[in-house]
Amino acid sequence: MAEIIRLEKLTKIFQDKRNTTVAIKDIDLVIEQGDIYGIIGLSGAGKSTLIRCINLLEKPTSGAVFFEGTNLVELKDSQLRQTRQKIGMIFQNFNLMEQRTVLRNVLFPLEIAHIAKDTAKERAVELLNLVGLSDKLDSYPSQLSGGQKQRVAIARALANNPSVLLCDEATSALDPSTTLSILQLLKEINQKLGITIVIITHEMKVVETICNKVAIIDESVIKETGLVAEVFANPQTPIAKNLIYPKLGVINKEFGSVLLKLTFDKTVLEPVVADMILKTQVAVNIIEASIKQGDNGSTGEMIIQLPNDQNSIAKVQNYLTTKNISFQQSNTEVQQ
Ligand SMILES: Nc1ncnc2c1ncn2[C@@H]1O[C@H](COP(=O)(O)OP(=O)(O)OP(=O)(O)O)[C@@H](O)[C@H]1O
Ligand SMILES: [Mg+2]
């Protein structure tokens, strides 16, 4: 895949009379065309600063931001404004214009770009249709739910046909089911329109749900990067382990060193774990479970510990595969 964004030794230092804050330091990162790249870290890690440096909303103190081969740091203001149209952005608080209708919010960037009125309207209507709001063109932001507001913001961010969409905690103000629907929309945009997406979040769930790659940022530096499946299966740094397995209590390592993280993404109608133990005759230890019981079954995650015996491990894995339950393997070393 072709590279679309390359950050080299990107550093941002905030300086006022009293304090010097190094918000991001020597960040190197490559994002390829078509990626849904998650950048995850705790509060204050430097996530927002990093994403705002990508489109130069924040001017880096040093380092380079290459976008489609051009170093944005070296561009003149007018060139930068032009290039920025190719980088859309959405925020946690939507940043809609309250005095404007939904349609006129989406028209705004097209007005700035001096697009002819008819063409602009056609484009805005088409985008609002894409995000599922064709019946809300004349509503005002105050009349919309959070999820609907974010859909308007997404339509507006896509108005000038960007090749990249930056999302800063785009779902953090939304409830879990609305979050899921927005993430699904972002995935659709990535697949249908071929737009590269960069997602800043403090929630592993978001990364797990739609990202193909992830970077973990902690205390202003990138600690770990890679394919989501690989980083999740084998986190290397303490911060990555902590983000992926946040709530592990004390584990009795004598029992066994293999952990499986099960994800019940579809509703599960049978008591799978009980059934698994009966069928496989393998005693497993439930370390952690966050399962929601709905009317039609359960959804959520569970971490189980398996005995150190290849035969038992294989039996359990086979069982889960047959039942179509996704799982990731790790080991007790994830515990700090
Ligand atoms: N405009 C600013 N002036 C001074 N310091 C700033 C400014 N913006 C951010 N910082 C500091 O830079 C550091 C990183 O902040 P940043 O907003 O990038 O973190 P974050 O990872 O986005 O956190 P959160 O998850 O809480 O949004 C923090 O110590 C913050 O106080
Ligand atoms: Mg932030």
Residue at 43: amino acid letter: S
**Is the Cβ atom of 202 under 6 angstroms away from ligand 1?**
yes
Please report the pLDDT score of residue 137 as a whole number.
97
Please report the pLDDT score of residue 274 as a whole number.
84
Of ligand 1's listed atoms, the one at least distance from the Cα of 16 is: 4
* 256 and 156, same domain (yes or no): no
Please report the pLDDT score of residue 156 as a whole number.
98
19: left (phi over 0), alpha (psi -120 to 50) or beta: beta
Hey, what's the torsion of the CAs at 246, 247, 249, 255, to 10 degrees? -70
Give pLDDT tens digits for 62-107: 999 999 999 999 999 999 999 999 999 999 999 999 999 999 999 9
Residue minimizing CA distance to atom 27 of ligand 1: 43
Of ligand 1's listed atoms, the one at least distance from the Cα of 220 is: 14
Please check whether residue 38 is in contact with residue 207, taking contact to mean a CB–CB distance below 8 angstroms: yes
Give, for ligand 1, the residue of 12, 13, 14 to mutate: max count of ligand atoms closer than 8 Å to Cβ.
14
Give pLDDT tens digits for 169-186: 999 999 888 999 999 999
Percent above pLDDT 70 for the chain: 93
What CATH code is carried by the domain that includes residue 256? Answer: 3.30.70.260
Burial class (CB in 10 A: 0-12, 13-18, 19+), 72: buried
Query: Domain of 296?
Result: 245-334
Could you say which of 195, 214, 239 is where a domain stops?
239
How far, in Å, from the CA of 268 to the mean position of ligand 2?
36
* 118 and 41, same domain (yes or no): yes
Q: Of the ranges 88-97, 123-132, 248-257, which one carries the lowest mean pLDDT score?
A: 248-257
* 17 and 83, same domain (yes or no): yes
* 286 and 309, same domain (yes or no): yes
* 165 and 141, same domain (yes or no): yes
Mean pLDDT of 280-294: 80
How far, in Å, from the CA of 54 to the mean position of ligand 2?
14
* 164 and 287, same domain (yes or no): no
Does the pLDDT at position 257 exceed 90? no
* pLDDT range class, residue 335, cuts 50, 70, 90: low
Give, for ligand 1, the residue of 12, 19, 39, 47 to mutate: max count of ligand atoms closer than 8 Å to Cβ.
47
* 82 and 137, same domain (yes or no): yes
* 224 and 310, same domain (yes or no): no
* pLDDT range class, residue 295, cuts 50, 70, 90: low
How far, in Å, from the CA of 63 to the mean position of ligand 1?
18
Please check whether residue 202 is in contact with residue 169, taking contact to mean a CB–CB distance below 8 angstroms: yes
Percent above pLDDT 90 for the chain: 68
183: left (phi over 0), alpha (psi -120 to 50) or beta: alpha
Does the pLDDT at position 268 exceed 80? no
Residue minimizing CA distance to atom 28 of ligand 1: 44
Could you say which of 239, 268, 295 is where a domain stops?
239
Number of domains in the chain: 2
Please report the pLDDT score of residue 269 as a whole number.
57
Please report the pLDDT score of residue 286 as a whole number.
84
Of ligand 1's listed atoms, the one at least distance from the Cα of 47 is: 21
Pick the more confident residue, 249 or 195. Answer: 195
Does the pLDDT at position 336 exceed 60? no
Of ligand 1's listed atoms, the one at least distance from the Cα of 58 is: 1
Could you say which of 206, 239, 272 is where a domain stops?
239
* 37 and 75, same domain (yes or no): yes
Mean pLDDT of 256-269: 76
Pick the more confident residue, 239 or 288. Answer: 239
| Mean of pLDDT over the chain | 91
Helix or strand or coil: residue 209? helix
Q: Quick one: which ligand is closest to 12's CA? A: 1
* pLDDT range class, residue 287, cuts 50, 70, 90: confident
Mean pLDDT of 187-208: 94
* 99 and 28, same domain (yes or no): yes
- Please state whether the predicted TM-score (pTM) of the whole model is above 0.95: no
CA distance 288 to 303: 5
Pick the more confident residue, 329 or 157. Answer: 157
Of ligand 1's listed atoms, the one at least distance from the Cα of 48 is: 22
* pLDDT range class, residue 254, cuts 50, 70, 90: confident
Instruction: Tell me which residue of 313, 290, 310, 293 sits closest to 302, measured CA to CA.
Output: 290
How far, in Å, from the CA of 99 to the mean position of ligand 2?
26
* pLDDT range class, residue 249, cuts 50, 70, 90: low
